[in-house]
Chain A
């Protein structure tokens, strides 16, 4: 049975909007020109390749369903567990749960257990249920087995990559012979830096293919306290991070754009009211405002358990509310920028001309002002993505972030904090969260820089970054 959670619906809506805009813009040179400039940026396109990988995992993870477990008198019974298409793909990883901690690639548990064998009790490191389970003598066979498996998978990865590269060369040969087209791409003579993008893709494939191949026989990033595969947790966290980074802005954009332009263009008492509103919201310490709102929402959710059929639905609604709350506290910065820009545009000759011709206010706003502030909106949306992903981790630490049952970078870090104090130390959950979060935020930052350089007419840094959480760390 397919389940469409609230955030899924919004994610699909957002993807649809982006696709529609892409089609619309590709036919209009003035809209596609800045994007072509983004396409020429080497770091921008490298980070775009990485981001696309993250986004495709996140999108796969957004197709939710409830598996059928039995048929009772012709009526199917569905499990209460909500799974996603991504869960289905990595089923082995999800189901391979051990009893408790085990280190990466280990075949043995992390701590000793007392085992009774032939009436004699001994304390040994027991074998894992799944990690390296098909090895007779892990001490001798483990390393060669890992190397063999990763080599095979890496070759597969190179094969897929080569196929993609050949397709790309054919598409871009444009009358040239195949070797000529290939050499112009690989020597970086094309407008879009295809060689850098192909190189990035090769690097990703060389890591991802072996990692996925090994994940069905080992725990690539070990297991956590309850024995769940940490690699699986890290991959699932990607969706949470993406949802917070994108939906928050989707929620806040209408407010910021509408109020900002109204205040700047219409002015008067409306301007005073809107200014009062955002100064007031700004002056409340952001964490306190978020904490109060999240606690309020939690009480509401606790008081209405009947509204949610499954735990996933409850966690999902909390995630959506968190996005809304973060959006409510972070629209002020963009609103102020837009108000300033609208104030400036109002005095421009072409607006005055439009007014003189008797064009209605609504039409002036939609035809003349809105298109001319869109670059500010776009820049602040992409710049804000990474700070929102980082803010989620901090908020989850304070206890006002996502639902504790929801897998996210914040909950991973939060539980890993206590594991660092163990002797010997359990470092892999924290390492996994670090690696994935760093890759995601870094590529988002680099991509945002490329977008900003391409869109900002002054090619200077947007001077204010809108941070939902005021530099708490």
Chain B
């Protein structure tokens, strides 16, 4: 398994290089380094000297991908792409284009992001599985039928309506929690609780319906019939046999997103004014801060690849028949 994981890690390198290449290409098709300097310097009349100084200071004074002035390996290495990409593989993100330390920003913003994303993931998972088990237990009865109807209706509502509606009812009409904002420490609870509840509620419909079909498929298997024939109670079959075997397809969908929880949720954080990584990214897109966008894309890709590897590992834990090689 170790060999397998090492191979996967090596395979990740070309993917990350490709991701970087794509980010660079997309960004610099629109912007030249001169445009970036003008946006960042922010003054109407910028002298060519000031632009040149900014470019030198931020390392944008070189050719993009190839340096025709150099020979040998310098042809590739003495370029913006090489000099900006290589430190990222060492997880050195440098400074954002407005001069702040990106690593430090990420460190301070990952906390608030996680405070929302992690409970949404865990509580959401538990409620989805419980609802799905309930529908599977009462299968082919009115409970099941109405449960599915509610699920389909719930997944037909845009996530934006959940946020707007929840914010309006709970925060504006009933004044239970503040509408938006964030504080560190224990007092963060009152800011976090509403986004978490909304996040869980908006994912319930599609999640519960999907898990239900997985459980129903397992219930139709022979081993379930055998277990019932042996006289094992329905509840025990459901929790002991069906839940465990249904875990594999559930793991496929769930484990891969765990690392990405760090990235936070773009929409949720900007609606509730949470200073997390999601709103950081959104601000960076709007202000065209390339250094931040580049770093966030890179981190996102790394986390996704880690997620894929975790999925493989979790398979072996959940199902001893599966071996990685």
Q: Which residues of A approach B to under 8 Å, CB–CB? A: 276, 279-280, 282-285, 287-289, 291-293, 295-296, 299-300, 386, 390, 393-394, 397-400, 409, 413, 416-417, 420-421, 430, 434, 437-438, 441-442, 445-446, 449, 460-461, 463-465, 470-473
Q: Looking at the complex, which one of A417, A442, A463 makes contact with B152 (CB distance below 8 Å)?
A: A442
On whether the beta carbons of B164 and A394 are closer than 8 Å, the reply is: no
* Cβ of B305 under 8 Å from chain A: yes
In the assembled complex, which residues on chain B have CB atoms less than 8 Å from the CB atom of A421?
172
* Cβ of B304 under 8 Å from chain A: yes
On whether the beta carbons of B29 and A296 are closer than 8 Å, the reply is: yes
On whether the beta carbons of B301 and A283 are closer than 8 Å, the reply is: yes
* Cβ of B64 under 8 Å from chain A: no
- Per DSSP, chain A at the interface is helix
How would residues 287 to 308 of chain B score, 1 for a CB under 8 Å from any chain A CB and 0 otherwise?
0100001001100110011000
On whether the beta carbons of B158 and A280 are closer than 8 Å, the reply is: no
Q: By CB atoms of chain B within 10 A, which of A284, A417, A420 has the most?
A: A284
* Cβ of B51 under 8 Å from chain A: no
Q: Looking at the complex, which one of A284, A399, A413 makes contact with B301 (CB distance below 8 Å)?
A: A284
* Cβ of B266 under 8 Å from chain A: yes
Q: By CB atoms of chain A within 10 A, which of B155, B199, B281 has the most?
A: B155
* Cβ of B159 under 8 Å from chain A: yes
Q: Looking at the complex, which one of A397, A430, A460, A473 makes contact with B265 (CB distance below 8 Å)?
A: A473
User: With A296-B29, A442-B152 given, is the CB distance from A280 to B22 under 8 Å?
Assistant: yes
- What 4 pairs between A and B have smallest CB-CB spacing? A473-B159, A442-B156, A283-B301, A461-B213
Q: Which of B11-19, B74-82, B135-143, B229-237 lies at the interface with chain A?
A: B11-19
In the assembled complex, which residues on chain A have CB atoms less than 8 Å from the CB atom of B281?
288
In the assembled complex, which residues on chain B have CB atoms less than 8 Å from the CB atom of A441?
156-158
In the assembled complex, which residues on chain A have CB atoms less than 8 Å from the CB atom of B268?
472-473
In the assembled complex, which residues on chain A have CB atoms less than 8 Å from the CB atom of B161?
413, 434
On whether the beta carbons of B304 and A283 are closer than 8 Å, the reply is: yes
On whether the beta carbons of A292 and B27 are closer than 8 Å, the reply is: yes
Q: Looking at the complex, which one of B15, B31, B160, B285 makes contact with A473 (CB distance below 8 Å)?
A: B160
Q: By CB atoms of chain A within 10 A, which of B213, B286, B300 has the most?
A: B300
On whether the beta carbons of B152 and A295 are closer than 8 Å, the reply is: no
Q: How far is the CA of A1 from the CA of B17 in the complex (A)?
A: 51
* Cβ of B26 under 8 Å from chain A: yes
Q: Which residues of B approach A to under 8 Å, CB–CB? A: 14-15, 18-19, 22-23, 26-27, 29-31, 152-153, 155-164, 168, 172, 199, 202-203, 206, 210, 213-214, 217, 249, 252-253, 257, 260, 263, 265-268, 281-282, 285-286, 288, 293, 296-297, 300-301, 304-305
Selected A-B contacts with CB under 8 Å, 30 pairs: A276-B15, A280-B18, A282-B304, A283-B301, A284-B19, A284-B22, A285-B263, A285-B296, A285-B300, A288-B297, A292-B26, A296-B30, A390-B159, A393-B158, A394-B158, A397-B160, A398-B282, A400-B285, A413-B158, A413-B160, A430-B164, A438-B156, A441-B157, A445-B155, A446-B152, A460-B213, A470-B257, A471-B203, A472-B159, A473-B267
On whether the beta carbons of B213 and A288 are closer than 8 Å, the reply is: no
Q: Looking at the complex, which one of B29, B152, B285, B288 makes contact with A288 (CB distance below 8 Å)?
A: B285
Q: Smallest CB-CB separation from A417: which chain B residue?
A: B164
In the assembled complex, which residues on chain B have CB atoms less than 8 Å from the CB atom of A397?
160, 267
Q: How far is the CA of A282 from the CA of B300 in the complex (A)?
A: 10
In the assembled complex, which residues on chain B have CB atoms less than 8 Å from the CB atom of A463?
210, 214, 249, 252
In the assembled complex, which residues on chain A have CB atoms less than 8 Å from the CB atom of B213?
460-461
On whether the beta carbons of A390 and B158 are closer than 8 Å, the reply is: yes
Q: How far is the CA of A438 from the CA of B317 in the complex (A)?
A: 41
Q: How far is the CA of A388 from the CA of B38 in the complex (A)?
A: 36
Q: How far is the CA of A243 from the CA of B26 in the complex (A)?
A: 25
Q: How far is the CA of A449 from the CA of B152 in the complex (A)?
A: 10
On whether the beta carbons of A288 and B267 are closer than 8 Å, the reply is: no
Q: How far is the CA of A465 from the CA of B301 in the complex (A)?
A: 21
